[in-house]
């Protein structure tokens, strides 16, 4: 992991600010989840109320379906592809050879795999082969980044073809896998992905599977395509919105016609298409608002998270979940109780206090010009 010390203003001026904002938004949402904020809100909402319906969007849909929260991981992978375009383009301009770029990426992927596994260190079996967390977003990103790297130099037509081949191959593997007990493509615990986990790691059937990095590489490759579009066109908003619409329609159509259900845990093709469409819409709107319309006021709150995304992701997952959340509640609960707050209100306020502390750490790093990257 590298630590850079740069002037924040000059550092930001060389970046795609909409990407920093989008990355910061995703990290903000993830940090709030790690603090237990959504859980406490759901507990406070009456059963069947509008509030509970809305807050349910901040939880995964389960096996089948698509909630807002199911778009977080696709957005993470998609943003990595955009960032890769800017990074590799900069390296090419500075004279890095293909081999040098590959070695640099391999080091980064190694760190991603390490931290993806290490962040479960609170579990006593975190290093046991049959219990490795090989479905973490960092681990998935490591493999997806390699695929995106190898197609980076291709034309956009071949990159689109690569995405189509990945989705088609995944569809065929799940639908045609002949091994008994793992030949039900869209059944939890009995699909091709579960077979891979059993063979490679000896892991029992679970919801999320290791091989997800293969279909979700489409998000990262698509991010590379969008990154090149943003580099070469000043106003790509219309194109991004236009491309996103048929992807969303096709994804939901495959699901509604019972051809391929939308299933995030195995990254089904219908899920991939619909979620990618939403990612295109998200970056289109943010790019138009921030980079084209030059709306830069009020962005700092999320930018400080976006510019230290890897640090805060590891911090709230390793330190926050396993120590800081409980310690923060222990300190704040008596103070909040003295204000007359209910038990649920105390839990909600305490989670916000922990989030505020985590944001403050990122702000401190931002002011000290310290930026962590892999």
Q: Provide the pLDDT for residue 206.
A: 86
Alpha-carbon distance of 146 to 139, in angstroms, equals 12
DSSP 8-state symbol, 372: E
- Rounding to the nearest 10 degrees, give the CA dihedral for residues 120, 124, 127, 129: -110
Question: Alpha-carbon distance 298 to 302, whole Å?
Answer: 9
Q: Give the model's pLDDT for residue 9.
A: 46
CB environment 1-12: b (16+ within 10 A), e (fewer) = eeeeeeebeebb
Tokens of 145: 């980044």
- Write the pLDDT tens digit of every residue in 135-148: 999 999 999 999 99
Can you state the percent helix, strand and coil of the chain, rounding each to 5?
70, 0, 25
Q: 208-232: b or e for each residue (b if 16 or more CB lie within 10 Å)?
A: bbbbbbbbbbbbbbbbbbbbbbbee
Longest dimension (CA), the chain: 64
Residue 275: exposure state from Cβ atoms within 10 A (0-12, 13-18, ≥19): buried
Cα-based angle 243, 249, 250 (whole degrees, multiple of 5): 90
Give the pLDDT means over successive 10-residue stretches in the chain (374 positions). 58 71 96 96 91 94 96 97 95 96 96 93 86 90 97 96 97 96 95 96 91 97 96 86 97 97 97 98 95 88 93 94 94 92 94 97 94 85
> 350 with 333: CB under 8 angstroms?
yes
**pLDDT for position 268:** 97
Q: Please give the pLDDT value at position 242.
A: 95
Q: Which DSSP state fits 238? A: H
Q: Packing angle between helix 37-44 and helix 343-367, nearest 10 degrees?
A: 160
Per the listing, tokens 């091994």 go with: 179
The model's pLDDT over 21-53, given as tens digits with 9 standing for 90+, comes to: 999 999 999 999 999 999 999 999 988 899 999
């Amino acid at each position: 992991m590298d630590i850079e010390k740069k002037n924040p203003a000059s550092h930001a001026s060389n970046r795609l600010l909409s990407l920093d904002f989008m990355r910061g938004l995703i990290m903000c949402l993830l940090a709030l989840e790690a603090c237990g904020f959504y859980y406490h809100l759901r507990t406070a909402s009456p059963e069947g109320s509008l509030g509970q319906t809305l807050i349910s969007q901040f939880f995964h849909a389960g096996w089948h379906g698509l909630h807002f929260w199911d778009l977080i991981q696709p957005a993470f992978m998609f943003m990595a592809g955009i960032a890769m375009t800017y990074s590799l383009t900069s390296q090419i301009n500075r004279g890095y050879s293909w081999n040098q770029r590959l070695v640099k990426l391999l080091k980064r992927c190694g760190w991603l795999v390490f931290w993806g596994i290490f962040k479960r260190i609170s579990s006593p079996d975190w290093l046991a082969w049959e219990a490795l967390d090989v479905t973490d977003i960092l681990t998935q990103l490591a493999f997806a980044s390699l695929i995106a790297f190898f197609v980076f130099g291709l034309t956009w037509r071949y990159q689109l073809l690569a995405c189509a081949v990945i989705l088609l191959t995944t569809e065929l593997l799940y639908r045609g896998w002949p091994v008994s007990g793992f030949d039900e493509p869209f059944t939890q615990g009995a699909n091709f992905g579960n077979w891979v986990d059993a063979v490679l790691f000896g892991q029992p059937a679970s919801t999320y599977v290791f091989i997800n990095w293969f279909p979700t590489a489409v998000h990262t490759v698509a991010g590379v395509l969008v990154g090149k579009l943003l580099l070469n066109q000043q106003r790509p908003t219309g194109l991004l919105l236009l491309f996103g619409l048929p992807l969303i329609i096709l994804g939901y159509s495959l699901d509604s016609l019972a051809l391929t259900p939308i299933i995030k845990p195995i990254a089904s093709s219908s899920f991939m298409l619909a979620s990618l469409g939403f990612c295109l819409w998200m970056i289109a709107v943010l790019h138009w608002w921030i980079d084209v319309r030059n709306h830069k006021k009020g962005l700092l709150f999320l930018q400080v998270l976006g510019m230290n995304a890897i640090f805060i992701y590891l911090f709230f997952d390793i330190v926050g979940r396993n120590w800081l959340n409980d310690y923060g509640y222990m300190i704040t609960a008596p103070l909040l109780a003295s204000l007359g707050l209910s038990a649920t209100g105390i839990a909600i306020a305490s989670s916000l206090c922990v989030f505020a502390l985590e944001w403050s750490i990122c702000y401190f790093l931002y002011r000290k010009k310290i930026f962590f990257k892999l």
